Structure 1
Amino acid sequence: MPHSFADITPPIALTPLDGRYRAQVAPLVDHLSEAALNRARLVVETEWMIHLLSRSVIPQLRALTADEIALLRSIPEEFDADGIAEHAAIERETVHDVKAVEYYIKRRLQGTSLEPLAEVVHIYCTSEDVNNLAYALMIKGAVDDVWLPALHELIGDLASLARETASVPMLSRTHGQAATPTTLGKELAVFAHRLARQARRLVHTHALGKINGATGTYAAHQVSVPTADWQEISRSFVEHLGLTWNPLTTQIESHDWQAELYADMARTGRILHNLATDMWTYISLGYFRQRLSAQGGTGSSTMPHKVNPIRFENAEANLEISGALLDVLSQTLVTSRLQRDLTDSTTQRNIGPAVGHSLLAISNIRKGLSGLDVDADAMARDLDANWEVLGEAVQSVMRTLGVQGTPGMENPYERLKELTRGHRVDGEAMRDFIRDLGLPSAEQERLLALTPATYIGLAEQLVDQLDVSELPVSLGAPRIPEVSPTSREGQA
């Protein structure tokens, strides 16, 4: 019998994101891993305790000192490998991850001045009060600190390459067929513009949060401290965490904001997929040369001449996986039976893979772009082999002259169709055709001077329309602000 890999220590990764591709997605571990979830829960629990006691919400309880606030905030800050193991051990006893977080905090208050106040930890909270805020902090951190900066860098790479190649003429291929020429830079600018637009949409998605009890009614809060303004306390706490308050929920925050975010991320991924397939095609046409050093040491195991566009192919596959996961998250998270079911619990644990595959794709596209050299000569040869694309220019000038009353300009489309459709036309044949049209001298000279390489309209100038400045750096509000230990504003 073969040896079981399940018995090997340290454990062997099941998914490629934690194995083969670990280095590319490692920054997400600080935000979207199980350990990150528990650290975020620790943040919510300790900040809730600080919030209640700093505002004297519970009568007869004293305010915290600066040292006590520092102690509470050190708990999530010092949550390390030992803390992760300790929490896991507690959870094996509680069989409840959030309750284990509560007990983990209380252990750290033992023997301190806060031990008499330990029961304030998790007071009035249902698990979902902690979870929804923890996930909001995690997702916001992952997008703000990792995914969005990576997207910005890719957009910057595209914008730079677009500007560098703004004047490099290239044959267009609408429907895969030779079409009106453009420039390479203009086509790359289109992708940079599309991606920048999606990035700007993200700023409109605010991470929502709630802390209002078992069914969203503040029932435990109100019966315990009826004199407190619990809606204001809830709002101020959620905003203190840098999130947007959701005033109306069931036991769970409805996750609609997450669905909106994932839809935008999935759409961005589909644009990136389009970019990857187009770059693959341009490489296959010879418009780019790939540098072997940038793609990897071996192009093919049997054909040593090959340099395969593996970065773009890898990106395609990972974007398809990411898009599927993001779509599932969007569809699943917006539904919860009555006041609560647990379908969102396991679903949200797959946010990491969804974002991870997207981040991996962005990384590969950037690496792919960095390993390309533009072959302007190959593009020029392609243009020179397709003079028939000037048929549009000639018939458009003829139409303009015809509607202006110039005689002999009848049926321009049909005459060019007869010359060009299904035929390769070289430069001399096109010029002979133009000379036989009876055009006024100015128009004839202008068309005779035209070549496929110069028939690019305003393509070069259009690159100047590309604006990738002031892209959003955050989904919304700022980080957790400092709380003065003597702060007593908004007392109950």
Structure 2
Amino acid sequence: MIPRYESAELTAIFSDRNRMRLWRDIELAVVRALADTGGLDAAEVAPLFEREVIVDDDFVERVLAREAITNHDLAAFVDVLQASYTTAASRFIHFGLTSSDIVDTALSLQIVAAMELMLTAVDHLLVTLRTQSYQYRRTVMLGRTHGMAAEPTTFGAKLALWTLALDRERVRLVRARRQMAVGKLSGAVGTYSNITPALEARALASLGLDPAPSTQVIGRDRHSEVIMALASTAAMIESCALEIRHLARSEVMEVQEPFAPGQKGSSAMPHKRNPILAERLCGMARLARSFVVPALEDVSLWHERDISHSSVERMMFPDAFQLVYYMVTRFDRLIADLVVYDETMAKNVANTHGLIYSQSLLLAMVRSGLDRDVAYRIVQEATTQVLNDAGELGELLMKDERCPLSADQIEALTSLDRLLVNLDPLFDRLRALEGSQWISIS
């Protein structure tokens, strides 16, 4: 990932230094489990735990230099780790294990850590969205279908639906994290030929992981679920960002991205205040989706393993997490600081000249006994007049002798409050989510 979009925390999680620290921890966890269960002499391996081998930049450089000879990163790591001790007990490092035991288990730990960071950001965004949805609960605006004026909604209702959508994404992310909280220490083809299932469970428990039945590698369906959950979250944010872009257009101007002092929207036109962040989020979602296909293709490996997935995952996981984490955190800021022009929203509703009530008037005519198609044509003809600047829909129907509705009925039907009276259950859904699983943010 280029520095422009990087999170320092995620960069640290997927760094060579952290990866090798995890490799070290897994190797030592197995030795400790062997000693605790009598598989190795506890006194003999005790020196391995008396002094911690520091995995710093120098250690990483030594591993990389060794890898230039071995052409095998884990084998090079084991060589350097063993050489870092002055005790003969170092020969028990990597005892009964294969490379994927260490590499796959460490990758699980990295993904779990990255997912926890992601979920914290998602929870914060959920709180922001919910707060803003309550604030704009009664802010009436046009609902639009096919880009055309439909019936009214509220900006708060729009945000409430975004909140509920993100909560569904959270469920997917939590499930994906749970699927990845596993490791494997079952040896060359996963048959426990040198490490017992009980020992594997003991060592993995010390790392906070459960055992995963595996071949030589953990099944990549788990990994693909992570990528699909990230891509789905990105798509959800993209749908919201796209809506903000439409509402920010000059001829609509119902919302606007925050515009800081000194900011420039265009190098050529000083008046421009472009929705650059929303556009950026839409673009980044395209990249996030691009990882889904290689993640699914990684599921199919030769026999008990090959390493065609390895090169993909080295780039895919760091970049996918960086992309979506950036999207979540920046979308949080966008929603928190979004400029909402409620007066313009009201003006755009008024500018429909009553067209937003066409369905209510149609149904009332049908209820009065008029054939539906006849009623539809009466209302449609009146809407055509409205579109030709002939007046308000309700007033035109009052003058139409074919309309069976009284003036009082038409006036009652052309009421915003009546159209929006049933929105409360939507916000009740938000209240039901409060405190259920999200983090607590003051």
Give the TM-score of the pair, scaled to structure 2. Answer: 0.88
When residues 100 and 422 of structure 1 are mapped into structure 2, their CA distance, relative to the original with a 3 A threshold, is farther
Name 1:190's counterpart in structure 2.
161
Per the alignment, in what secondary structure is the counterpart of residue 129 of structure 1?
A: helix
Structure with the bigger percentage of helix:
2
Farther off after superposition, 421-430 or 159-168: 421-430
Q: CA 1:400 to 1:68, structure 2 compared with 1: closer, same or farther past 3 Å? A: farther
Paired residues of 2:227 and 2:295 also in contact (CA < 8 A): yes
Q: Deviations over 1:243-298 (max 9, x none)?
A: 23212x2211112111112112211111111111011111112111333218x721
The answer to whether residue 427 in structure 2 is matched with residue 463 in structure 1 is yes
My pick for the range that moved more, 253-262 or 179-188, is: 253-262
Displacement after TM superposition at 1:441 (Å):
7.9
List runs of 5+ in structure 2 lacking aligned partners. none
Residue 426 of structure 1, CA deviation: 7.4
Please tell me the residue identity of whatever aligns with 2:102. Answer: V
- Counterpart Cα distance in 1 of 2:293 and 2:63: 30
Deviations 1:353-402 (A, max 9, x none): 12112222223323333442110010011000111111111112233343
> What is the Cα-based RMSD across aligned positions, in Å?
2.6
- Residues 408, 256 of structure 1: alpha-carbon distance in 2 compared, 3 angstrom cutoff: closer
Aligned twin of 1:116: 88
Structure 1 residues 216 and 160 mapped into 2: Cα distance closer, same or farther (>3 Å)?
A: same
Q: Which has the higher contact order (CA 8 A, sep 6+)?
A: 1
Q: 1:194 Cα deviation (Å)?
A: 0.6
Distance 1:164 1:310 in 2: 25
Is residue 193 of structure 2 the alignment partner of residue 219 of structure 1? yes
Could you tell me which amino acid in structure 2 is paired with residue 278 of structure 1? E
Provide closer, same or farther for how the CA distance between residues 70 and 458 of structure 1 changes in structure 2, counting only shifts above 3 A: farther
In 2, Cα distance between the equivalents of 1:161 and 1:353? 30
The 1:455–1:214 alpha-carbon spacing in structure 2 relative to 1, beyond 3 Å, is same
Q: What is the correspondence of 1:220-235 to structure 2 with a 5 Å cutoff?
A: 220-221=194-195, 230-235=196-201
When residues 176 and 70 of structure 1 are mapped into structure 2, their CA distance, relative to the original with a 3 A threshold, is farther
SS in 1 for 2:339: strand
Q: Is the 8 A contact 1:56 1:62 kept in 2?
A: no
| Alpha-carbon distance in structure 2 between the residues aligned to 1:461 and 1:340 | 51
Residue 320 (structure 2) pairs with residue 320 (structure 1): no
Q: Does 1:126 align with 2:126?
A: no
**Aligned residue-pair number:** 427
Q: Does 1:356 align with 2:332?
A: no
Instruction: Pick one of 364, 367, 382 that aligns with 1:419.
Output: 382
1:237 is displaced (CA, Å) by 2.4
1:337 CA displacement: 0.7
Please name the residue that 1:137 is paired with.
109
CA gap 1:70/1:31 in 2 versus in 1, 3 angstroms: farther
Kindly provide the amino acid, as one letter, of the partner of residue 198 in structure 2: E
In the alignment, which of 224, 229, 241 is matched to residue 207 of structure 2?
241
Q: Hey, what does 1:334 align to over in structure 2? A: 299
Residue 172 of structure 1 aligns to a residue whose secondary structure is strand
Residue pair 2:365, 2:404 contacting (<8 A) in 1 also: no
Q: 1:160 to 1:315 in 2, by over 3 A?
A: same
Q: Tell me which moved more, 298-307 or 368-377.
A: 368-377
**What is the aligned-residue identity percentage?**
24
Deviation at 1:97, TM superposition (A): 1.2
Provide the rounded CA distance (Å) in 2 between the counterparts of 1:428 and 1:217.
78
- Are the counterparts in 1 of residues 361 and 410 from structure 2 also a CA contact under 8 Å? no
| Length-normalised TM-score, structure 1 | 0.80
Equivalent residue for 1:390, pick from 357, 360, 363: 357
Structure 2 counterpart of 1:225: none
> Per the alignment, do residues 455 and 134 of structure 1 end up closer, same or farther by CA in structure 2, a change over 3 Å counting?
same
User: Quick one: structure 1 residues 137 and 347, their matched pair in 2 at CA, closer, same or farther if it must change by over 3 Å?
Assistant: same
Between 422-431 and 183-192, the greater mean CA deviation after superposition? 422-431
Aligned to 2:236: 271
Note the alpha carbon deviations across 1:90-113, whole angstroms, 9 max, x for none: 323333211222223223321xxx
Instruction: Find the counterpart in structure 2 of residue 56 from structure 1.
Output: 38
| C-alpha distance in structure 2 between counterparts of 1:160 and 1:373, whole Å | 15
Map 1:126-205 onto structure 2 (within 5 A): 126-144=98-116, 146-205=117-176
Query: CA separation in 2, counterparts of 1:130 and 1:92?
Result: 20
State which of 24, 29, 32 in structure 1 corresponds to 2:11: 29
How far did 1:315 drift?
1.0
SS state at 2:74 partner? helix
Residues 454 and 280 (structure 1), Cα distance of their counterparts in 2 relative to 1, 3 Å cut: farther
Q: Which runs of 4+ in 1 moved over 6 A?
A: 407-410
Letter in 2 for 1:417: Q
Q: For 1:279 and 1:468, locate their aligned partners in 2 and report how far apart those are by CA, in whole Å.
A: 25
1:69 CA displacement: 3.7
Going from structure 1 to structure 2, the CA distance change for 1:57 and 1:427 (only over 3 Å counts) comes to farther
Cα separation, 1, equivalents of 2:373 and 2:170: 49
